[in-house]
Copies of this chain bind each other. A is one copy, B any other.
Amino acid sequence: MTTLPSPEDVLDARRALAGVAVTTPVLRSERLDRLTGASVHIKCENLQRTGAFKFRGAYNCLSRLDRQAYPGGVVAYSTGNHGQAIATVGRMLGIPATVVMPSDAPAVKIAKARENGASIVLYDRSRQSREEIAAQIAARSPVAVVPPGDDRFIIAGQGTAAAEGLDQIGISDSPLILVPCGGGGLAAGTCLATEAMRSTAEVWAVEPEAFDDTRRSLASGDREVNPTLTGSLCDALLAPTPAELPFSINRERLAKVLTASDQDVLRAIRFAHDELKLVTEPGGVIALASLLCNPDLVRGRNVLVIVSGGNVDPSVFKQALDLDVNADPTGRAA
Chain A residues with a Cβ under 8 A of chain B: 22, 25, 27-28, 30, 46-47, 49, 51, 107-108, 273-274, 276-280, 310, 314, 317-318, 321-322, 325
A321 near B314 with CB under 8 A, answer: yes
CA distance A276 to B47 in the complex (A): 7
Known: A27-B47, A321-B314. A273 touches B279 (CB 8 A): yes
Among B49, B108, B277, B310, the residue within 8 A (CB) of A310 is: B277
- Known contacts A47-B276, A273-B317, A318-B318; 10 additional CB pairs below 8 A are A22-B27, A25-B47, A47-B277, A277-B278, A277-B279, A277-B310, A278-B278, A278-B279, A314-B325, A317-B321
A277 near B314 with CB under 8 A, answer: no
Contacts of A47 in B (CB 8 A): 25, 27, 276-277
CA distance A279 to B277 in the complex (A): 5
CA distance A234 to B276 in the complex (A): 20
CA distance A55 to B126 in the complex (A): 50
Q: What are some 19 contacts across the A-B interface (CB < 8 A)? A: A22-B28, A25-B25, A25-B47, A27-B47, A46-B277, A47-B276, A51-B277, A108-B274, A108-B325, A273-B314, A277-B278, A277-B279, A277-B280, A277-B310, A278-B278, A278-B279, A314-B325, A318-B318, A318-B321
Distance in angstroms from A19 CB to nearest chain B CB is 12
CA distance A314 to B318 in the complex (A): 9
Contacts of A277 in B (CB 8 A): 46-47, 51, 278-280, 310
Contacts of A28 in B (CB 8 A): 22
CA distance A318 to B273 in the complex (A): 12
CA distance A108 to B25 in the complex (A): 25
Contacts of A321 in B (CB 8 A): 314, 317-318, 321
Contacts of A279 in B (CB 8 A): 273, 277-279
Q: Lowest 4 A-B CB distances belong to which pairs? A: A277-B310, A25-B25, A314-B321, A277-B279
